[in-house]
Structure formats: structure tokens, C-alpha cells
């Protein structure tokens, strides 16, 4: 890594299909970072097993997530793209950081509270210490910035607390990371309930547009999107559904809200919804074509995984060995 080059780290779960919320809120902005930062993008399969997975599905989704990252424009030559479980330093540092994380801190994590309510029959210790593994992911690379959705901000803040605590005991160990939010389309809402974030795990599939949905499905989902009883396409308080559709349309077309209002002046919601659906489907078509090409070439994907894991390990091992030395572990040459 160049001395003056800042590091960006982010992870995506392989546990579900990616949505346009993931795409507009995070992935689409990842590639612009590679100009500015040394970027690590990690498919977090170790995080995924905190809830039960069907092994064959987890394996397939790991390939798919990597292929999707690449199809969305992430160049594996310019970014380090890899799979978490293939770099064992993540699990090792997570253990050490567990010993510097307080029970009370983890109990306050809202995602833990939500997930333990949802998976009441499997509140395992991994679910509880999930943010510690996430802190290890970030801290291993001396990360400066973490591009995340708003729902992950609390975890990044905990990571900062852990790193600050560790540095107070063992100076100059970790860089303290900053969470950064995507500048536009940071939060795409559910099409069925626009007061809720669009979530890939939503049971109502009409609420969610997946990056890999075909054109007809995309248009159908936008047609059914929940709006309001008004008829004017206008960005305003209380018009959550229309506001969300305007945000999505703006992300895909680059148009400002007042431009969109003028474009649909005197036209109904039906026209607007169709336009949003078409803009979305057209933007996703080349991504989907590239994705299919990559998925047909597993050997190439595996080659990229190997390259990514080797690169990531190189940096991760440096931090890990520094931490081991500071903690007093005997290191053999």
C-alpha cells in the first residue's frame, strides 16, 4: 500500500439476492472509491453462518456475490475482492478483539436485538459477537473509511470504540475508521411499505427489486408500488412512496427532483411508475448480462478469489502479527 493512500473496506452478505437498495446505496458507489482509495471488498460468508444456511445455497451465493460485484463494475485488478473465510486472519483477530469488547456494548446493538427476536430459536454466541468479527474485518486493513448503509453505522461506531480502547492499552496498533454514507440514494425504501428500508430478506417479494430481476418483474413491482391518494408527482413530506420512487428515478437518470416534477407535470402516477421501472430495468440489463457471463466461468471466479485472498492475507497478516506481538504471544520466526 502506498504510504499516502487511504484504505476503504466494505463487506456484503452472501445470504440473499442483492437489491437495488444495495446497488444504489453502496455497490454502485464502490467503484468511484478505487480512484481515491486502496479498496477491499469482502464477501462475508463467516458472518452469514450466524443464522442457519443451506450449504449449497451459501456456496452458490458466494460465487454470485463475487460475480455481481464484478458485474456492477468492480475491477478485480484495481480492488481487492475476496471471500472472508478464505483469509483466516479475520477469525483470529476476531477472537482477540472479543477480549476487548464488553458484554454490555454488544447487548445494545440494535441489529442483535432485531435478529434475536427474528431467530428466537437460535440466539447463538456468533450472532451476539457478530460486530466483533466485523470490527476485525475493518481493523485488519488499517482502514480509514467504511462505506456502509445507515443500518451498519452502529457497528462501525462500536469498531471505533474497540480500536480506541485497544490503542489506549497498546498505542499505535489500529487506524480508527470513519463510516461514510453513500451520497445519493443512501436509503431506498420498500415498495410495499415506504416507511421501511428495502430489505433483501423481506418476505413480501413485491416490496423488493433485486438486481437480477427480469424486466417484466421489475416493471410489475414498480406498478404495484404503494403511493398515496394524491395524484401529483412531487417530493414532499408525507409522500413516502412517491419520494422513494423519485429517489430511485433520480439515481438512475441523474435528474434532480424539480426536473422530475416538471417531466411528470400533469401526468398520473401510472406513467411515472412505468418510467421508473423502465429506467431501472434498462440500467440493470448490462449488469445482468455480465453477471451471467461470469457465472458461466467458475474457474475464472475461483482464480479471482485466490488472487483476492492472497492480496488480503498479505495486509491482514501484518496487522495480525503486530497485535500478537503487542498482546505478548510468542511468535516463531
Q: Which residues contact ligand TRP (rule: CB under 6 A)?
A: 9-11, 13, 44, 47, 134, 137-138, 146, 148, 152
Q: How far is the CB of 162 from ligand TRP (least distance, A)?
A: 13
Q: CA–CA separation, 106 vs 248, rounded Å?
A: 34
Q: Where are the alpha helices (DSSP H) in the chain?
A: 20-22, 28-36, 45-48, 55-71, 89-98, 103-107, 110-118, 125-139, 153-169, 215-223, 240-253, 257-263, 269-295, 298-327
Measured from the CB of residue 39, what is the shortest distance to ligand TRP in angstroms? Answer: 12
> Is the Cβ of residue 44 or residue 127 nearer to ligand TRP in the bound state?
44
CA angle (27, 92, 78) in 5-degree steps: 30
Query: For ligand TRP, which is the closer residue by CB, 65 or 244?
Result: 65
Q: Which is nearer to ligand TRP, 25 or 241 (CB)?
A: 25
Residue 200 falls in the annotated catalytic set? yes
Nearer to ligand TRP, 47 or 239 (CB): 47
> If we measure between CA atoms, which residue out of 231, 232, 228, 246 comes closest to residue 189?
246
Minimum CB–partner distance for residue 177 and ligand TRP (Å): 9
Q: In this complex, which beta carbon is closest to ligand TRP, that of residue 27 or of residue 276?
A: 27
β-strand partners of 249? none
What are the φ/ψ torsions at residue 49 (nearest 5 degrees)? -80, 5
Catalytically annotated residue among 6, 186, 197, 326: 197
CA 94 remoteness from chain centre: 20
What dihedral do alpha carbons 165, 167, 170, 173 form, nearest 10°?
140
End-to-end CA gap in the chain? 24
> Least distance to ligand TRP from the beta carbon of 328, Å?
27
- The x, y and z cell numbers of residue 25, run together, are 446505496
- Write down the least CB distance from residue 42 to ligand TRP, Å: 6
Least distance between ligand TRP and beta carbon 111 (Å): 8
> HEC string of 11-69?
EECCCCCCEHHHHHHHHHHHHHHHHHEEEEEEECHHHHCCCCCCHHHHHHHHHHHHHHH
The active-site residue, picked from 6, 153, 187, 200, is 200
Distance CA(119)–CA(11), nearest Å, equals 22
φ and ψ of 53, to 5 deg:
-125, 150
Closest residue to ligand TRP, judged by C-beta, is 11
Looking at the Cβ atoms of 13 and 124, the one nearer to ligand TRP is 13
> Does the annotation mark 113 as catalytic?
no
Q: Among all residues, which ones are annotated catalytic?
A: 115, 197, 200
Amino acid at each position: 500500500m502506498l504510504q499516502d493512500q487511504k484504505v476503504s473496506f466494505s463487506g456484503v452478505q452472501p445470504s440473499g439476492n442483492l437489491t437495488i437498495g444495495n446497488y444504489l446505496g453502496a455497490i454502485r458507489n464502490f467503484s468511484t472509491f478505487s480512484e481515491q482509495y486502496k479498496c477491499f471488498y469482502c464477501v462475508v460468508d463467516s458472518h452469514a453462518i450466524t443464522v442457519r444456511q443451506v450449504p449449497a445455497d451459501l456456496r452458490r451465493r458466494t460465487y454470485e456475490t463475487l460475480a455481481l460485484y464484478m458485474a456492477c463494475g468492480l475491477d478485480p485488478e484495481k480492488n481487492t475482492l475476496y471471500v472472508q473465510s478464505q483469509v483466516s486472519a479475520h477469525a483470529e483477530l476476531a477472537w482477540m478483539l472479543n477480549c476487548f469488547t464488553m458484554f454490555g456494548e454488544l447487548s445494545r446493538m440494535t441489529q442483535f436485538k432485531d435478529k434475536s427476536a427474528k431467530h428466537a430459536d437460535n440466539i447463538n454466541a456468533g450472532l451476539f459477537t457478530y460486530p466483533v468479527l466485523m470490527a476485525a474485518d475493518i481493523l485488519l486493513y488499517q482502514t480509514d473509511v467504511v462505506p456502509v448503509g445507515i443500518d451498519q453505522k452502529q457497528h462501525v461506531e462500536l469498531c471505533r470504540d474497540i480500536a480506541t480502547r485497544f490503542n489506549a492499552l497498546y498505542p499505535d496498533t489500529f487506524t480508527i475508521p470513519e463510516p461514510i454514507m453513500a451520497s445519493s440514494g443512501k436509503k431506498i425504501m420498500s415498495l410495499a411499505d415506504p416507511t421501511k428500508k428495502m430489505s433483501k430478506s423481506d418476505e413480501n417479494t413485491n416490496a423488493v427489486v433485486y438486481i437480477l430481476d427480469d424486466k417484466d418483474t421489475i416493471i410489475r413491482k414498480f406498478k404495484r408500488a404503494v403511493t398515496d391518494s394524491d395524484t401529483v408527482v412531487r417530493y414532499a413530506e408525507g409522500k413516502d412512496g412517491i419520494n422513494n420512487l423519485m429517489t430511485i428515478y433520480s439515481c438512475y437518470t441523474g435528474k434532480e427532483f424539480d426536473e422530475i416534477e416538471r417531466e411528470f407535470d400533469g401526468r398520473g402516477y401510472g406513467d411515472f411508475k412505468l418510467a421508473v421501472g423502465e429506467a431501472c430495468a434498462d440500467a440493470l440489463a448490462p449488469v445482468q448480462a455480465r453477471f451471467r457471463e461470469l457465472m458461466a466461468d467458475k474457474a475464472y471466479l475461483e482464480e479471482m478469489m485466490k488472487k483476492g485472498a492472497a492480496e488480503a492475507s498479505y495486509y491482514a497478516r501484518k496487522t495480525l502479527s503486530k497485535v500478537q506481538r503487542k498482546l505478548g504471544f510468542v511468535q516463531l520466526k
